[in-house]
Amino acid sequence: MTTIATPVKPKKTDSSGENQKGMDSNKKMKALVYHGPGEKAWEDKPKPVLVKQTDAIVKILKTTICGTDLHIMKGDVPTVTNGRIIGHEGVGIIEEVGTSVSNFKKGDHVIISCITSCGKCEYCKKGMYSHCTDGGWILGNLVDGTQAEYVRIPHADNSLYPIPAGADEEALVMLSDILPTGFECGVLNGKVKPGDTIAIVGAGPIGLATLLTSLFYTPAEIIVIDLDDNRLNVAKTFGATQTINSSDGKAIEKLMKLTNGKGVDVAIEAVGIPATFELCEAIVNAGGHIANIGVHGKSVELHLETLWSKNITITTRLVDTITTPMLFRNVQSKKLQPKKLITHHFKLSQVMEAYDTFENAAREKALKVILTN
């Protein structure tokens, strides 16, 4: 979920004693566990149990790895502590629900949202689920996540979505995070509109999800910038009108030539490193928008000496998943086909191999991987 500009601060949630009261030490499961920067293990963990009556326990059927998980593994998200089960995406079958859960029951087939929301606090009432006072992005961050055989979902009524019979599970895994993230943090925050020239910096899964959802607004030009020719070729098949390989350090020069020296109306940062954000600053046109999606673990230089007079809007956002129902309908109608993002399949027990593939995406020509339990 490459979505935050600064690490999320710990908030008061029901997870503070999860390792003690959210697990059944007598029943075990397998899970991918973070043990500090660069350290992870596929190991036995206690199976989760209900902590509050608003919880659900979900057996994972399919999950995936996110770019945010790679940022976690690098130590960019200090709220993730040693012993945490990683992951915030997936689909599954409900095994147990608390007595206060009214929308779901045992046996229901569900999508797990990357954002947990109570639906009642002041932020939820504003549609800012990512800042829920008893939730937000907590899965795989402040509470144990989905790269496991089972997961506990707090506030299940507001944090799960039903899957209709016959739906494509693998496509719907993309609705857990990357489709709403690309759409909300990139397209909506960037205020993409018909006829715009937009640049998406980063052709990884989140950048490509942004590309797919930007097509709702028929921009005139979609320029995708990346270091990897394979991903740039994929971007062309998804609807990019122009691509730029930035490995020679001449991306700004090339883009300005494509735009007759003007730059772009919307520059969308979908990587999360200083160089790509500063590239967005250099290519945005007067009156334009810079929409940040990437998770930034290092400070970025803001070039106000060149931007102060250009009427630029810069936005940051953590995905709220308020658009998930709309995106779900477009996936069901085949107008949006996120399954095209999936390149590799593994068993959940092969998660270490899957991480190696995802971490070496250029070598492996990888986009999204699917892990099946």
Among 7-21, 46-60, 155-169, 310-324, the minimum mean pLDDT is found in 7-21
For the chain, domains (ranges, CATH) are: 18-177+321-372 (3.90.180.10), 181-315 (3.40.50.720)
Nearest to 3 by CA among 73, 61, 57, 76: 76
pLDDT at position 263 = 98
Tens digits of per-residue pLDDT, 275-291?
999 999 999 999 999 99
pLDDT at position 26 = 72
| DSSP string for 66-123 | -HHHHHHHHT--TTS-TTPBP---EEEEEEEE-TT--S--TT-EEEEPSSB--S-SHH
Half-sphere exposure of 106 (CA within 13 A, CB side): 5
Token pair of 111, please? Answer: 């999508």
Spatial neighbors of 75 by CB under 8 A, at least 6 apart, are: 36, 37, 38, 297
pLDDT at position 32 = 98
| H-run or E-run covering 180 | helix 178-181
How does residue 23 score in pLDDT terms, banded at 50, 70 and 90?
A: low
d(CA 75, CA 73): 5
| DSSP string for 239-276 | T-SEEEE-TTS-HHHHHHHHTTT--EEEEEE-S-SHHH
How does residue 98 score in pLDDT terms, banded at 50, 70 and 90?
A: very high
How does residue 315 score in pLDDT terms, banded at 50, 70 and 90?
A: very high
